[in-house]
């Protein structure tokens, strides 16, 4: 487990560095995801995705962009809840919080993977 965490952290730092160079969040998200997808350290899609999202969260914290930090955290929480449901973990579905302004990170990830990002 430790090595997986280390890989995700390394991917996240690379994604954050690349995203920092972009001027707005849509471009930062795309840059972080492209960097993570091209990372040489791992080909595991979950590690790459988690690294990209982790890098974006670290950047939001670094830039003190509290709104974006909250949006990313909300989306992470929603994804974790869905993952738990699909894994058979008992989840209070009524308590699930849908992000107010979703970033659609999974959708963007898949579009970039297919080369159909807008």
The gap between the terminal CA atoms of the chain, to the nearest Å, is 35
Model's pTM, two decimal places? 0.86
Structural domain including 40 reads 2-114
| Band of pLDDT at residue 114, cut at 50, 70 and 90 | confident
Gap between the Cα atoms of 118 and 116, Å rounded: 6
Task: Calculate helix-pair angle for 45-62, 25-37, nearest 10 degrees.
Answer: 140
Q: Taking the CA atoms of the chain, what radius of gyration do you get in angstroms?
A: 14
Instruction: Give per-residue pLDDT as tens, 101-111.
Output: 889 999 999 99
**Total of domains in the chain:** 1
**pLDDT, tens digit, 9 for 90 and up, residues 12-47:** 999 999 999 999 999 999 999 999 999 988 889 999
Q: Report pLDDT digits (tens) over 71-98.
A: 999 999 888 877 777 777 776 767 667 7
Mean pLDDT value of segment 46-72: 97
DSSP 93: G
């Amino acid at each position: 487990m430790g090595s997986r965490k280390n890989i995700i952290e390394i991917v996240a730092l690379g994604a954050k560095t690349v995203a920092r160079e972009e001027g707005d969040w849509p471009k930062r998200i795309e840059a972080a995801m492209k960097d993570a997808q091209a990372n040489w350290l791992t080909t595991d899609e979950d590690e790459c995705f988690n690294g990209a999202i982790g890098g974006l969260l670290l950047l939001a914290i670094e830039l003190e962009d509290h709104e974006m930090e909250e949006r990313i955290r909300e989306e992470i929480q929603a994804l974790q809840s869905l993952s738990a449901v699909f894994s058979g973990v008992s989840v209070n579905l009524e308590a699930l919080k849908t992000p107010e302004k979703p970033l659609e990170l999974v959708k963007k990830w898949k579009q970039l993977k297919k080369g159909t990002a807008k």
